[in-house]
Amino acid sequence: MKTHAQKRNTLTRLMVLLLIALGVALIVVQRYTPSDNQKESANQADIQHISISLPDKPLIELQRLEHSNAWQMNKPVHLPGQNQRIEPLVNLLSQFEGSYELSEVKLEDAGLKPSRASITINNTAFLIGGKDLSGERRYALYNDKIGFVPEWTLSLITGGISALAHLNVFERLARPTHLLDSAGGTIELENPGNWQMLTAEQIVSTNEVNIDPKAIVFKVLSKEPTEKQLGELFVQQPFSLLKLDETFVYVLSNTTINTLLPNLKR
């Protein structure tokens, strides 16, 4: 029969073994359980689609390219997206602060009825309202709860196409090499590299601008690798337009046009 001291030693050893086992289990759980940041990253990686609706503006639809972090604008025009502008919208759920029941807030006073805008991230919809008293946040309705998102949320999306699509005109296209005027005359471009780096002031839908009947019109062409037309340039006041697609035009400053075409007679 074991003495009282032996029993106590055995119990002590069992307690030590139990504590070791619990410590190992805790380490395993911590190692293989995703942290909040890891969960958030995983959730962000799952976001594939964003749509933006603004009053009196065309619907904007953004799609993450397959097996890529790059974004594409599919509506109202088809253009590469500006990732650095779109990623903050991907993080909108983590930016949502506070949680009030619908009964606690008067939607009209919060600018949520009607709302200033709506953003749908995958299948999750946010309604964006007016500013709070600090002026740094906006009321938002999400999942039947009222909270806040940063003020820049509305400022960003009201920029529309120009804020969310790439403004680099020829970055992903062939380099322009020459222009063809309405009389069939050819202008060889002295600095095609400057055209390759051309950045627009804005991008707008074709139905939002008027082409001046008196505009000087050029066809923009490239010889690389074979001759093809890239688009049409309309030199006019107060700004010039470059149309590469039937759905949208790039708005160019005439200061830029004067730099690119210093010998152009108007």
SS3 263: coil
Shared-domain flag, residues 148 and 195: no
Q: The domain containing residue 203 runs over which residues?
A: 178-260
Which of the listed residues 133, 164, 195 is the one where a domain comes to its end?
164
Between CA 135 and CA 113 the distance in angstroms is 19
- Asked if 72 and 159 sit in the same domain, the reply is yes
Q: Is-contact 225 219, C-beta < 8 A?
A: no
Mean pLDDT (whole number) for 20-49: 51
- Beta partners for 251? 202, 241
144 and 98: one domain?
Answer: yes
pLDDT of residue 117: 96
Q: Does a structural domain hold residue 89?
A: yes
Please give the single-letter amino acid code of residue 201. E
Q: Are residues 226 and 135 in the same domain?
A: no
pLDDT digits (tens, 9 = 90+) for 70-111: 999 999 988 999 999 999 999 988 888 877 898 899 999 999
Please say if the pLDDT value at position 16 is more than 80: no
Domain presence at residue 252:
yes
Q: What is the pLDDT of residue 242?
A: 96
Instruction: Please give the single-letter amino acid code of residue 65.
Output: L
Give residue-wise pLDDT tens across range 157-205.
Answer: 999 999 999 999 988 788 899 999 988 899 999 888 889 889 999 998 8
Residue 2 maps to a domain:
no
Looking at the fold, whether 243 and 142 belong to one and the same domain comes out as no
The pLDDT assigned to 191 comes to 83
- CA–CA separation, 91 vs 141, rounded Å? 16
Per-residue tokens: 72:
């594409």
SS3 content of the chain, % helix, strand, coil (to 5): 30, 35, 35
Residue 94, in any domain of the structure = yes
Share of the chain above pLDDT 90, in %: 56
Q: Is 199 within the bounds of a domain?
A: yes
Residue carrying structure tokens 């990686």: 45
**Given a cut of 90, is residue 238 above it in pLDDT?**
yes
Same domain for 147 and 215?
A: no
Claim to verify: residue 192 and residue 142 sit in the same structural domain: no
Q: Does residue 23 fall inside a structural domain?
A: no
Is residue 170 within 8 A of residue 195, CB to CB? The reply is: yes
Same domain, 148 and 191: no
What letter does residue 208 receive in the DSSP assignment?
G
Structure tokens at 184: 């069939």
Q: Among 142, 164, 186, give the residue marking a domain's end.
A: 164
Q: Using CA atoms, how far apart are residues 238 and 255, in angstroms rounded to an integer?
A: 10
Give the phi and the psi of residue 123 in degrees, each rounded to 5. Answer: -110, 15
Boundary-marking domain end, from 116, 133, 164: 164
Instruction: Give the single-character DSSP code of 79.
Output: E
Q: Is 122 in the same domain as 227?
A: no
Domain count, the chain: 2
Q: How many whole angstroms separate alpha carbon 105 and alpha carbon 85?
A: 31
Q: How confident is the model at residue 34 (pLDDT cuts 50, 70, 90)?
A: very low
Flag whether pLDDT at 7 surpasses 80.
no
Say if residues 155 and 128 touch (Cβ distance below 8 Å). Answer: no
The answer to whether residue 213 is domain-embedded is yes
Sign of the dihedral through C-alpha 11, 13, 17, 19? positive
122 found inside a domain: yes
Cα 84–81–61 angle (5° rounding)? 115
- Helices of type H across 75-178: 83-90, 92-95, 152-157, 160-164
- In a shared domain, residues 159 and 245: no
Give the integer Cα–Cα distance in Å for 59 and 53: 5
Asked if 129 and 187 sit in the same domain, the reply is no
- Cβ-based neighbour number of residue 180 at 10 Å: 16
Q: Are residues 152 and 186 in the same domain?
A: no
